[in-house]
Amino acid sequence: MGLISTILNFFDCSGQQKKDDGKLSKEMEEQLANSVEAFKNRPIYKELTEQIIDTTSDENLLQMVFDNLSEKQPADYEKEYETVMSWNKSRQAIYMIWALEAEVNNGGYNQFYFNSSGQFYMHLPDALRLVGANKFADLTEKANKTFENENEKITKHRDGTIEGFSKSYDDNPLNDFDSEFYDLYKIENLQQIQVDFIRKNKKEFIDK
C-alpha cells in the first residue's frame, strides 16, 4: 500500500503527470524512480519508541507502523491470525485495515475474502470503527453479510486454480461493493484517519 500510495499521489490519481503522448517526461520518470528507491530503502524498525513515532512524518507513519507489525509475525505466517489476535486492539486494527485496503484496492472484496486476509473479516467493522472510519466500517459490514449469506454462490468456482478464482468474479454479488469502497476515499481519508489514530494512541504502538 505504501508504494501504491506513493505512485497514486505522484500521478494525482489521474495520470496528470503524463505528457500529451501518454508517456512520462524524463523528469517525471526520475522522480518516480527515486520514490520507488526510497520506498525500497526505508528504515524498518523491530521496536518502536515514542521518539520514532514523533519524528516520523504523517506520509510515512502508517507504513512504518505496519512494517513494525509485520516484523512481529512468524517467518512462515502460519500463525498470522493467532499472532495478530494476541496484540492490543489498536495494533490489530492497523494491521487488519492495511490488509483490507491492500486486497480491495488490488482485486476487490472478492480477493480480500479469497486470500488469507479474509480470516480477519469478522473483526474488521469493529477495527474500522475503532480508528474512526465509520463509513468504511458500515460498508465492510454489508460486504460481510453478503459474503456469509451468498457464500455458496461466491465460492462455487473456487477450485484452487487461477482460472477458478478469475471465474469467481462473474456475477459476484460482492462486486457492487468495490466501487463504493473506492468512492468512500472522497468522503473519509482512511489513511489520514489511521495516522491521526496512531498519533493519539501512540503508547499502544510503542515497544519500549
Q: How confident is the model at residue 20 (pLDDT cuts 50, 70, 90)?
A: low
Q: Count other C-beta atoms under 10 Å from residue 114's C-beta.
A: 18
Q: How far apart are CA 62 and CA 6, in angstroms?
A: 13
pLDDT at position 13: 45
- CA 101, CA 99: separation in Å to the nearest integer? 6
Instruction: For residue range 46-75, list pLDDT tens digits in order.
Output: 999 999 999 999 999 999 999 999 999 988
Q: 24 falls in which pLDDT band (50, 70, 90)?
A: low
pLDDT of 38 reads 66
- d(C-alpha 21, C-alpha 152), whole Å: 47
Amino acid making up residue 136: F
What whole-number distance in Å separates Cα of residue 3 and Cα of residue 35?
Answer: 8
| Domain spans in the chain, listed from the N-terminal domain onward | 42-204
* Cα distance between residue 46 and residue 28, in whole Å: 34
Condensed to tens digits (0 to 9), the pLDDT of residues 70-99 reads 999 988 888 999 999 999 999 999 999 999
CATH class of 42-204: mainly alpha
